[in-house]
Structure 1
Amino acid sequence: MNDSPHLRRRAVLTGMAGVAGAAALSGGTAYAAPGRYPAAWPDGEPYGVADTRLDLWPRDDNSFVLPLEQRPRDEQRVWMRDTYVNCFIVDGQPLYVATGTTRAPGLPAAGPWNDGIFVWTAHSLRGPWRLADTTGIRDAEKGKVWSPEFAGENTPGRTVVAPWQEYWDDHGQFGKRGNVWAPEIHYFRGTWYIVACMGDHSQKVGSFLLISEGGVEGPYRVAEGNYDKPFGDSFIGGPAFIKPGAYHHIDGGLYSEGDQAWLVLHNNLYAPFRDDMEDIVPTTNLPLFQQSPYSPEPYLEGAYVFKYGGKYYLMHAAWDRASTNPDGSTRNAYDPPGTGRTQYQYDLVMAVSDHFEGPYSHRWTAGVGAGHNNVFQDVSGQLWATFFRNPAFGYWADPSRSGDAAVPGVVRMEWTGPQSNRLYVQRRRPA
């Protein structure tokens, strides 16, 4: 979630601005002169309107699907949600890493159980992408670095899988249960970390930290602060089948700067890690990011912080819901669920601040259908964001498109420069 342990080279992004207008957005489309920064688009009015212009979609001219090495279960490509990709300098060389939420063989989705976290690595963003070599660690499917099934590896003084993370059976409603989602990989102070979340079908739901005792392939163990529970306090939330007291804050991630690291939790919480990284610093209440919420504020997911050009970018996944205005026109906005509102796209919305904790600006649509992702720099300094095309609802759930959903995708991003400090999916060149 940061650029400090990654590639510090700054690219002069002279990306291309878009061409299409949108009736819901104020002002016209502006373009910078050749060689200058692309212009920021005017904010939508009222605040919370979604920008649906095709310029903000991952397209063939600005994105591609990573050619990840397939596993025996993969028929044509790797099925993945919550795609995460990053680039780190390890032993003086760039190392790209990829992971995400995957499903077990025979299941249509990553629940009610899946079989853990897989990691791929490459020395170029274009590949070849290979499964991390875990064959010297255990006799399990190559590339699987952590799973609830590894509970048998627990020994006195070393916990690989905490009791609340193990598989279980509810004897009737779902059967086998226990899934992990939205993993992120980080290389901080010479150690590999994975932040992930036990999902809705687990005994406890929430975010946790894994610490590698070797390389990016592991072996990993659970941080001491997660022996008994996920990070933070429990509260009432999630689907009705989650038992009271089991739900904690989900979609955890890690932001680091210098020698300090923070846990970022959806959708507005953060906490500093202890210096030994075994737990977060204890506090009565986790601090809140200072944000500019929509009114009303919808449910947001996948909070993520990225620093670029001296500014902090706070990212969220937000559902663009389509409805009908009184005049019969279509309204696309980040509205809460309601009568007549249909989930359309799972968007990336961003806000910018001078400080990690905020205050953050008004949010803007940075990528259509690119929600629940991360931003990173490649070895040349080019900015990229991940995307996966959410197959659960909306545009990518349509049977005519679902075959192209749940992908490990990356899309080029562009920066509008130090005056406006906006990041967007790379827009199309003007005609």
Structure 2
Amino acid sequence: MKPSTSQLRILFDYPLRDTSICLGGDGYYYVTGTTGFPDWWAVTGDIQIWKSLDLQTWTPVITEPRKRSTVWSIDRDGTWQKPIGLRDGAPFRPLWAPEIHYLKGTYWLTYSIPRLGNGLLKSVSGHAEGPYVDHILSDSPVSLYIDASLFEDEDGKVYFLCDNGKIARMNDEMTALAEPFRLLSPSNAEHVGFEGTFLFKAHGLYHLAGADFIDGDYHCFVASSEHLYGPYSDRYLAIPHGGHNMFFQDKIGQWWSTFFGNNENAPIRERPSILRVEFDEHLRIRPQEG
């Protein structure tokens, strides 16, 4: 069963995939995601951010028309990210799945450029509009995978996640990995999802999310553990048709999942959306009714 359109709240009418939201230190919610419509596999490279005080009315963090809310651009700001390759004979250099995180008093953007590497940008102003600078370079091990993410544990340690559940602790400066990657796996599968890894903690458990296709439909699966490195439970279907999403809490503590709609059977297609979620008696995540 997929979430109904009444459960989903479309944030605004703009093509966006891999939707990511964080609550900033200034009381605003910030959203970003993959742009580049209509050819998500072509040559893109912009990271755009919008903001809202209430999860309903959204405005660009940069209002200058020619910048289109772009806080960072490969062509304008990039270095190692600029080379354009070929895929099936066509130019290929997409920027995929940027995520926004508010950690240690500022904003961070993770992103992936297939075949070139993952990046980590830091806002040097402490504001979501930036400016952003490279904080980790492509010649580190993070360059081997896609779909980068961050997780800050309760002790302040920050972890870099990517790909199908790979995780590594970062150094205190967040400029490099402090350990090799290891794979977090559910007890009933090789991985929680083949891409779109996201980790958060709630109700005393670590919840590991990932995206996977089942019979052509793109779902969000979750596995949970009492310990960061596991062992993790069986993976289960948490958000039907909600693949490559993330979870966040609002100002009153309600949990939400992002949603964008990747395939024809999804209730919406390629629009940034959210839906309320709840934890059942087994602390499993499910869409909240009503």
TM-score, normalisation: structure 2: 0.91
| Secondary structure at the counterpart of residue 395 of structure 1 | coil
Of the three residues 77, 80, 84, the one matched with 1:168 is: 84
Amino acid at match of 1:320: I
Residues 361 and 229 of structure 1, relative CA distance in 2, 3 Å threshold? same
Asked whether 1:222 is paired with 2:124, we answer: no
CA–CA distance in 1 between the matches of 2:68 and 2:5?
31
Residues 256 and 110 of structure 1, relative CA distance in 2, 3 Å threshold? same
2:76 maps to: 150
1:123 maps to: 53
CA–CA distance in 2 between the matches of 1:357 and 1:171?
36
Does the CA-based 8 Å contact 1:196-1:208 persist in structure 2? yes
Asked whether 1:212 is paired with 2:123, we answer: yes
Amino acid at match of 1:307: K
Of the three residues 136, 158, 177, the one matched with 1:280 is: 177
Residues 144 and 231 of structure 1, relative CA distance in 2, 3 Å threshold? farther
CA–CA distance in 1 between the matches of 2:128 and 2:22?
12
Deviations 1:334-359, CA, capped at 9 Å, x for gaps: xxxxxxxxx1x211111111011111
CA–CA distance in 2 between the matches of 1:350 and 1:427?
19
2:167 maps to: 270
> Residues 223-242 of structure 1 correspond to what in structure 2 (within 5 A)?
223=135, 225-226=136-137, 228-229=138-139, 231-232=141-142
Offset at 1:86? 2.1
Offset at 1:102? 0.8
Offset at 1:372? 0.4
| Secondary structure at the counterpart of residue 262 of structure 2 | coil
Offset at 1:293? 3.8
Asked whether 1:82 is paired with 2:18, we answer: yes
Residues 353 and 131 of structure 1, relative CA distance in 2, 3 Å threshold? same
CA–CA distance in 1 between the matches of 2:87 and 2:36?
22
1:327 maps to: none
Offset at 1:305? 0.5
Does the CA-based 8 Å contact 1:205-1:230 persist in structure 2? no
Does the CA-based 8 Å contact 1:206-1:251 persist in structure 2? no
1:183 maps to: 98
Residues 140 and 211 of structure 1, relative CA distance in 2, 3 Å threshold? farther
Does the CA-based 8 Å contact 2:164-2:192 persist in structure 1? no
Offset at 1:150? 1.2
2:272 maps to: 408
Asked whether 1:360 is paired with 2:232, we answer: yes
CA–CA distance in 2 between the matches of 1:81 and 1:274?
30
Residues 132 and 359 of structure 1, relative CA distance in 2, 3 Å threshold? same
Residues 59 and 179 of structure 1, relative CA distance in 2, 3 Å threshold? same
Structure with larger Rg:
1
Residues 413 and 172 of structure 1, relative CA distance in 2, 3 Å threshold? closer
User: Unaligned 5+ residue runs, structure 2?
Assistant: none
Tell me which protein shows more strand as a share of its residues: 2
Does the CA-based 8 Å contact 1:208-1:231 persist in structure 2? no
| Secondary structure at the counterpart of residue 111 of structure 1 | coil
CA–CA distance in 2 between the matches of 1:229 and 1:65?
38
Does the CA-based 8 Å contact 2:219-2:242 persist in structure 1? yes
CA–CA distance in 2 between the matches of 1:370 and 1:169?
30
CA–CA distance in 2 between the matches of 1:274 and 1:207?
17
2:31 maps to: 98
> Residues 185-334 of structure 1 correspond to what in structure 2 (within 5 A)?
185-199=100-114, 204-214=115-125, 215-223=127-135, 225-226=136-137, 228-229=138-139, 231-232=141-142, 248-257=144-153, 258-281=155-178, 283=179, 285-294=180-189, 300-321=194-215
> Residues 26-45 of structure 1 correspond to what in structure 2 (within 5 A)?
none
Residues 134 and 255 of structure 1, relative CA distance in 2, 3 Å threshold? farther
Structure having greater relative contact order (Cα 8 Å, sep ≥ 6): 1
2:9 maps to: 64
Aligned residues: 288
| Secondary structure at the counterpart of residue 89 of structure 1 | coil
> Residues 358-397 of structure 1 correspond to what in structure 2 (within 5 A)?
358-391=230-263, 395-396=265-266
2:286 maps to: 424
CA–CA distance in 2 between the matches of 1:298 and 1:363?
6
1:329 maps to: none
User: Unaligned 5+ residue runs, structure 1?
Assistant: 1-52, 68-76, 152-160, 234-247, 322-342
CA–CA distance in 2 between the matches of 1:134 and 1:412?
29
